[in-house]
Structure 1
Amino acid sequence: MQNVTNLPKHTPLKKHTIFKNNISKSIVLGFALTFFSQYDAKAQFTASAQLRNRVEMRDGQGTLQQKGEEAALFSTQRTRLNVGYSGYRFKIFTALQDVRVWGQDASTINKTTTEVNNGILFHEAWAEISLVDSLSSIQNLSIKAGRQEISYDDQKVLGALDWLQQGRRHDAIVFKYANKGWIADVGAAFNQNKENNAGTIYNGSNPAYGAGTNGIGTLYKSFQYAYLGKKFSFGDLSFLFFKDDFNKYTMVTAGTPAVTTKVNGEGVWSRNTTGFYFNTNVTKTINFTGSLYHQGGRDKDGRSLDANLASITSTVQIGKKLFVGPGIDYLSGDDGTKTVTATSKNNRFDPLYGTPHKFWGGMDYFYAANGFGKQGLLNYFFKMKYNAKENLTLLLDVHSFESANTLSNGAGGTLNSYLGTEIDLVVKYNLTKIINLEAGYSFMKATNSMASAAVKNVTNANLSPQFAYVMLNIKPNFLAKK
């Protein structure tokens, strides 16, 4: 056979044949890779995505506005690409996420705008290793390490906060056990700003994270927790112990003119949250859920803590489509008539890293990282859910909010503890199994107490705020069988 490399340059036929052969090999290889990857994907790979667009009209949402201020209108988008792989005694999962406001980037993105507005990050990136093989009688015994969502029970104190486009996640390691209806998890996290050669001081600031609920403004340096749950014939019962630690600091005044700055030092202040959750079916049509938590230790500023949360919700099924029920939440707070000092006890319960939007109104006035007042909260509510069709659901919530403690008027007197009434209406429609449409409208009739310096501190406030949104949610599973 003639050596191809020694052929004269005027023999294009052979050269063309070689080119065609290379193309053929590439096509065959491509088909083979596609075939085997699809074959493996059905057994081991998962690949899905989410595209969630939400248009919001805010006219006092989150905080009261002054009279005459214009409403805000904007659109946000969450984009997620989820890829998972399961092998023998291990799982790996990543969720790449981008969150942006439409128009925050120029139509031609340059280096500066990319650095300032970059919303791309890994929402989740974890590996889970099984400590038992498939023949074990134990359902699950594993270690899960990496960036992950941590959610338990009704998500009142620990939740993924899915309402926020950016969500919530933690860099943590969790030891997981599950068997015969029992669930036992033990987890821990330890944060640092960067790689250090000496010391473990952490400034508690990380713009990639929502620091917590209720405007806490400081991310934990570390946490440790234990969760124990059991499924019974009558319902679920669980216990949670969660300790989060905050870097100690001192306030130092120096210079001319004098400037006071926060200086972090070694050591931590630890906050302990302990409590129970239950979910029980009294009859086939009556359900009760409730929780009771206590907070002790020290808060992020070193103040001694003594705070409580108590909650109960009832649900009654009427017919096949209607679910209704009243409930009440109590979160303790400080007495507004007493002066708060660095050494005074803190009675303000903070619902940790939960999902406040789910419980305390769609307007997000309370415990939603907005610096709600320190006097605690009483939330009397009535909820209704109506499954009009298989793909159409109507939700109606009515909240009556009160301060759990006395409100001071700042002049030696007190204010009415009633803060306002809020109505939330939500419509959910599933166009397909993949495409969901949702629309919501919230209206609140607030009081002067709500606008006072003891709570929101807004002068000449508009006491009839409103909020509306429309959301499109598309969640394809790329490897699902059609």
Structure 2
Amino acid sequence: MSSANLSKSIFLGIALTFVSHNEAKAQLTATGQIRERTELRAGQGTLQKEGDKAGLFNSQRARLNIGFTGYRFKVFMALQDVRVWGQDASTINRTTTEANNGILLHEAWGEIMLNDTISKIQNLSLKAGRQEISYDDQKVLGGLDWLQQGRRHDAIVFKFANKGWIADVGAAFNQNKELNTGTVYNGVPTAYGAGTNGIGTMYKSFQYAYIGKKLSFGDISFLFFKDDFNRYTNVTSGTPAVTTKVNGQGVWSRNTTGFYFNTNVTRKFNLTGSLYHQGGKDKDGRSISANLASITSTLQVGRKLFVGPGIDYLSGTDGTKAVTATSESNLFDPLYGTPHKFWGSMDYFYAANGFGKQGLLNYFFKMKYNAKDNLTFFLDIHGFESANTLSNGAGGELDSYLGTEVDLLVRYNLTKMINLEAGYSFMKATNSMASAAVKNVATPDLSPQFAYLMVNIKPNFLAKK
């Protein structure tokens, strides 16, 4: 064999080996989810009036998740349909289907590995597309999985991980449609409820940096998050006078800075806490100076029982002071987190509905009992109080205590892919909760209840039998 042919054979052999190696490393994943949840609401989210009947409905989430990992890249897509049983006609009804917008692309992202396989760095990558963004305990940034439609962001994130360190830098930039001029953004996308925490407006853009370190006794992290909201002016015209919101160029920027820690003080005693400060301007252009402080303790008692008290403080505005367009806001907004996880299963605070501007004190005691490997019981008791003075609207003050909530929950794993969950919550609310300063409900039922039953099936379509 000539030297030229020998060289070609060697080159071809190396190429085939390389291709075969990378094909072997390529991995396709295909999973799904069917989650059915039946809810009985008798004052969930907001107090109902005395004599109102409870609401009963079944909602459904269906997801199809497809992922592929190849040489120096990953792609992932999650197609999602969320709807309430009966909201669509049982045969073709185009208008109804379009109005409900049940089907959407929950995630669709690609990740490029910037470091080769021989690099000593664990991960250096760029992830772009629609994606969930979750960190730490999800108090300020989380996937909000309780909500059937969840939460996602259209963003790009630079990711680094090595020797216990994690560093992510991300950004997003929203537009309503393709534009030839300007960058004005209407923060209420067509046919979709915008924002969370009752703000009713989507961010125009955001930029953030997250740094975390895993330690032998726990972990600690730092977060800087800046979200921007399109500026607007209120224009009044006509007879009778009508005020219209007119978006313009530029943004108001809000920044949130703080840290989180999770530490094992002893083998059976854990402490988790966070501290954040919020500044800049809110979505209406008001200056902000607000704070969040939280600490949670967990003590293992015996082999199966975990208990612990904790407290959350989210600052607010003094209800006895006049609020103007130029006055400073002290209301802390927990951004894009998972409020259902922290401030009661009945979602009175920091969920889609607003609850006033006076902030929140949440005193709680939690219990978790692992009866079996596949059976767990939970009991959470919350005491909710306004973090600031509540006004009665007539120059006086209201009692700051809002109510006591008890949440009961049981989870049972029938198999690795089938989970059953049932919950029951009740509250003893005060008249302050029903006041115009908080929920603004006349003749309220001050003993609201909430119950649900959920079936969660998560098949792995490519799993070996």
**Bucket of the pairwise TM-score, normalised by the shorter protein:** over 0.9
SS in 2 for 1:99: strand
Distance in 2 of aligned mates of 1:464 and 1:307: 32
2:262 to 259, 279, 296: 279
1:351 lines up with 2:334 in the alignment: yes
Q: Give structure 1 regions of 4+ aligned residues with deviation exceeding 4 angstroms.
A: 40-43, 207-210
- Give the structure 2 partner of residue 264 of structure 1: 247
1:465 to 425, 433, 448: 448
Alpha carbons 2:101, 2:191 under 8 Å: kept: no
Alpha carbons 1:96, 1:120 under 8 Å: kept: yes
Read off the aligned partner of 1:436 and give its amino acid letter.
N
Distance in 1 of aligned mates of 2:24 and 2:362: 48
Distance in 1 of aligned mates of 2:358 and 2:262: 29
2:125 to 142, 153, 162: 142
- Give the structure 1 partner of residue 317 of structure 2: 334
In structure 2, runs of 5+ residues without a counterpart are: 1-22
- Give the structure 2 partner of residue 50 of structure 1: 33
Distance in 2 of aligned mates of 1:41 and 1:54: 40
Alignment of 1:270-309 (within 5 A): 270-309=253-292
Residue 232 of structure 1: how far off its partner (Å) = 0.7
- Give the structure 2 partner of residue 16 of structure 1: none
- Give the structure 2 partner of residue 29 of structure 1: none
Deviation string, structure 1 residues 327-352 (Cα, Å, up to 9, x no partner): 00000000000010000000000000
1:228 to 211, 225, 228: 211
What percent identity do the matched residue pairs reach? 82
Distance in 2 of aligned mates of 1:390 and 1:206: 44
SS in 1 for 2:266: coil
Distance in 2 of aligned mates of 1:264 and 1:43: 47
Read off the aligned partner of 2:185 and give its amino acid letter.
Y
Alpha carbons 2:99, 2:191 under 8 Å: kept: no
Alignment of 1:83-482 (within 5 A): 83-206=66-189, 211-482=194-465
Report which stretch shifted further, 166-175 or 114-123. Answer: 114-123
Distance in 2 of aligned mates of 1:147 and 1:275: 25
Alpha carbons 1:42, 1:479 under 8 Å: kept: no
Residue 112 of structure 1: how far off its partner (Å) = 1.4
CA RMSD of aligned residues (A): 1.3
Alpha carbons 2:383, 2:405 under 8 Å: kept: yes
TM-score w.r.t. length of structure 1:
0.91
SS in 2 for 1:372: coil
Alignment of 1:14-25 (within 5 A): none
Alpha carbons 1:41, 1:479 under 8 Å: kept: no
Read off the aligned partner of 1:84 and give its amino acid letter.
G
Closer/same/farther in 2, CA of residues 192 and 360 from structure 1, 3 Å limit: same
Deviation string, structure 1 residues 188-236 (Cα, Å, up to 9, x no partner): 0000000000000001012576643320100000000000000011110
Residue 96 of structure 1: how far off its partner (Å) = 0.2
Deviation string, structure 1 residues 428-477 (Cα, Å, up to 9, x no partner): 00000000000000000000000000100001000000000000000001
Residue 161 of structure 1: how far off its partner (Å) = 0.1
SS in 1 for 2:432: helix
Alpha carbons 1:168, 1:210 under 8 Å: kept: no
SS in 2 for 1:228: strand
Alpha carbons 2:297, 2:308 under 8 Å: kept: yes
Alpha carbons 1:434, 1:475 under 8 Å: kept: yes
Structure number with bigger Rg: 1
Alpha carbons 2:316, 2:357 under 8 Å: kept: yes
Deviation string, structure 1 residues 93-133 (Cα, Å, up to 9, x no partner): 00000000000001102221221123111100000000011
Distance in 2 of aligned mates of 1:41 and 1:118: 40
Distance in 2 of aligned mates of 1:117 and 1:368: 21
Distance in 2 of aligned mates of 1:259 and 1:208: 23
SS in 2 for 1:441: strand
Distance in 1 of aligned mates of 2:285 and 2:372: 53
Read off the aligned partner of 1:425 and give its amino acid letter.
L
Alpha carbons 1:213, 1:351 under 8 Å: kept: no
SS in 1 for 2:427: strand
Alignment of 1:65-76 (within 5 A): 65-76=48-59
- Give the structure 1 partner of residue 17 of structure 2: none
